[in-house]
Amino acid sequence: MKRALALALVLPLAAAAARAADSAKKKDAGKSAESAKSAAPAAFFKPSETATEGSVTVEGRKIDYRAVAGTLVVRPKGWDDVAPLPESDAGKKEQKEPSAEASMFYVAYFKRGADAAKRPITFLYNGGPGSSTVWLHMGAFGPRRVVTADDAHTPAAPYRAVDNEWSLLDASDLVFVDAPGTGFSRVAGKDKEKAFYGVDQDAHAFAEFVTRFLSKYGRWNSPKYLFGESYGTTRSALLADELETRDDVDLNGVILLSQILNFDLSPDGPESNPSVDLPYVLALPTYAATAWYHKRLPGPPRKLGDLLAEVETFASGDYANALARGLDLPVRERDALAEKLHQYTGLPVDYLKRANLRIDGGEFEKTLEGDADTTVGRLDTRFSGPSLDPLSQRSRYDPQAAAISSAYVSVFNDYVRRTLHYGENETYKPEIWIRKWDYRHDGNTQSPNVMPDLADAMKRDPKLKVLLNAGYFDLATPFYEGVYEMRHLQIPRRLFSNIEFRFYRSGHMVYAHRPSLERLHDNVAAFIRATDDVTAP
C-alpha cells in the first residue's frame, strides 16, 4: 500500500517533470526557429504569373504566341541564397543579409511551336532612370500597338490600339521588363532605395532577373539579346559586361536605341561643366535637323542628308577648334562663326554671340521658333507646344511627352487587364520620381561613363555585335553623340566593324514615327537573323 502510494506520488511528479522538460525543449526549439527566422532575409514578395495565348500577323505572316505576365523576385548585390550561418561564439552573425528585395514585372511573348534552343530571346527595357517599359511594349515591338499622332498632340480617349504588323516576334521571343519600382515592379525593405536605385545596383538587379528568367523558362541555350532605350543603353553596357564576367553569359547582340554612355556629353546643362565643350559640338547636327524640319534655316531648301553631312564636318572641325580656343578666339573669328551657326541653326546672330557660341539643348528648344509662346520638343524636336513660361530661359516641359503619354498609358492599362488578365487591384506606374539616384559607378563619384564597360564586354567576347539606332530629331540623346561614343570606345580597331549604325527621321522614341518604326523593325530583325548563330557549325 505504501509502495502503491509512493508510486502514485512519484509518477505524477515524473510526468510533471517530463512535461516541464518537453515544454522547455519546445521553448528552446521555438527560440531557435525564431532566431533562424530573424537571421534569414525577409521575404516580401512571391513570384507570380498569368498565361494567355494570342496571334499577330507580322509582314504577312501569322505568328501564334503564348504570353506570360508575371514577376520574378531579385535581391541586391551581396545576397547569397544559402541558409544563414549560425552565430559565432562572440554572438555575432557570421553572414549579414541585406534587408531589401525587388519584385520585377515582365511580359514575355513566346512563339508557339518554336524550338527554344534555336529561337532567339530578347530582353527589352526603357530607361529614365525611373521609367517603365510601357513605351517599347506598346509603341514598338509588342503584338499590340497604340496609334498616336505623328508630330502633334494625340486627342484624348478613346485611343486606338491595333495589331502590330511590325512586332519583333517574327525574329525573336520578347521579354519586356519593368525596372524596380516602376510599372508593376515593386521594391521593399528598409534599404530598398539604396539597394536598387543606382547605376551599379540597377545593373545587378537586371542581371539577376535575366539569369532567373533563363532558368525558369529553360532558355539558357537560346541566342540572347539586350535591347535598351535611352538610359536603357547605359544599363545595357553595364549588363552585358556583368552577365559575361559574373554569370558567364555571352550575348549574341546588344541593340541600343537613343544612346547615352557618357553623361558628360549630354546637352542638358553643360554650362555647369565649364571647359567641356563637346556637348555643344555633338548637339549641333540635331539643332540643324530640327531647324530644317521647322523651316527656320535661311536660304533655299536643302536635302537633310546633305545638310547633316556638312554640319557634322563643321561641328567636329572648325566649330570644335574655335570652342577649344576659349577667350583666345579673336572677335573677328567669333563673329564669322556666329554667322555660320546662324546658317545651321536658324538662331539669331546676336543671340549666338551673347551666348558665347554655346547653346544648350533647353535654350535651343525655347528659342528656335522665335516666339516666346512656343517651344519645340526635347525627346522629339518635330513636336512643338505652348511655352509654360514665356519669360523662362529654357523649356520647362516636353511637348512630345505631353502629346502621347496618355495614349500609351491608357491603352496599356486596358490591355494588361483585359487581355493579359494581370494587375487587378494594382497600380501601374509608368514613371516614378527617384529623389536620389546613385550615379556612382565603380566608386567614381563623377557623372557616369559606361563606355569602358561596353568596351570590356566586346573585348572579352570579340564576336559580340552591337547595333546603334538613333533619331535625327532627338535632343535628349543626340544621334551624333552616340556616333562619337562608339568611335571612341577603347577597343581594337578590328572590333569597330562589329558595330552597326542606323539613323531615322524621328526622335528619341524612334518608333513614334510610323515609317521609322517599319525601318526599325526591319533593321533589328535583320541584325538578329544575322547574329543568332543557329546555322553555325
The domain that contains 203 carries what CATH number?
Answer: 3.40.50.1820
What pLDDT does 397 receive? Answer: 65
Same domain, 238 and 382: no
Q: How many domains is the chain partitioned into structurally?
A: 2
Return the pLDDT at 100: 92
523 vs 300: which has the higher pLDDT: 523
Per-residue pLDDT for 509 more than 70? yes
Of the candidates 396, 420, 443, which is a domain's last residue? 396
Q: What number is the average pLDDT over the span 304-311?
A: 97
Query: Last residue of a domain, which of 375, 396, 417?
Result: 396
The pLDDT score that the predictor gives to residue 84 is 53
Question: Is the pLDDT score of 205 beyond 60?
Answer: yes
Cβ-Cβ contacts under 8 Å for 90 (sequence gap 6 or more): none
pLDDT at 388: 63
Residue 131 · residue 177 · CB < 8 Å: no
Stretch 506-510: mean pLDDT:
97
316 and 392 belong to one structural domain? yes
- 258, part of any domain: yes
pLDDT in tens, 28-85: 544 444 444 444 455 799 999 999 999 999 999 999 999 999 999 999 887 766 545 4
Which percentage of the chain shows pLDDT scores above 70?
Answer: 86
Q: Residue 127 has which C-alpha cell?
A: 530607361
* 121 and 232 co-located in one domain: yes
pLDDT at 198 over 80: yes
**Does 231 lie in the same domain as 135?**
yes
Query: Are 67 and 213 in a shared domain?
Result: yes
H or E element, residue 44: none
Question: Are residues 120 and 241 located together in one domain of the fold?
Answer: yes
pLDDT at site 77 = 84
Residue 270 falls inside a structural domain? no
Cell numbers placing 506: 524621328
Q: Do 252 and 142 share a domain, yes or no? A: yes
pLDDT tens across 365-411, in order? Answer: 989 988 767 889 999 999 988 876 665 666 666 788 888 999 999 99
Q: 370 and 439 share a domain? A: no
**Is 39 domain-assigned?**
no
Q: Which domain holds residue 387?
A: 275-396
What is the pLDDT of the chain when averaged over all its residues? 88
Half-sphere exposure of 521 (CA within 13 A, CB side): 23
Let me know whether 370 and 285 are in one domain. yes
Beta-carbon count within 10 A of 520 CB: 24
- Is residue 523 predicted with pLDDT exceeding 70? yes
Q: Which residues face 74 on adjacent strands?
A: 102
Residues 113 and 257 occupy one common structural domain:
yes
Residue 16 resides in a domain: no
Boundary-marking domain end, from 334, 365, 396: 396
Residue 466 lies in a domain: yes
Domain co-membership, 256 together with 312 = no
* Closest to 308 in 3D by CA, of 296, 320, 292, 321: 292
CB 384 within 8 A of CB 375: yes
Quick check: is 246 in a domain? yes
Q: Which residues pair with 104 in a beta bridge?
A: 72
Has residue 198 been placed in a domain?
yes
Answer whether residue 364 is part of any domain.
Answer: yes
Segment of 45-49, 153-157, 440-444 carrying the highest mean pLDDT: 45-49
Which set of grid coordinates corresponds to residue 348?
A: 539669331
- The total number of residues shown for the chain amounts to 537
Both 345 and 365 in a single domain?
yes
Task: Give the three-class secondary structure for 238.
Answer: helix
- Beta strand ranges found along 81-183 (DSSP E): 101-111, 121-125, 144-147, 160-163, 173-177
| Rounded-to-integer distance, Cα 407 and Cα 409, Å | 6
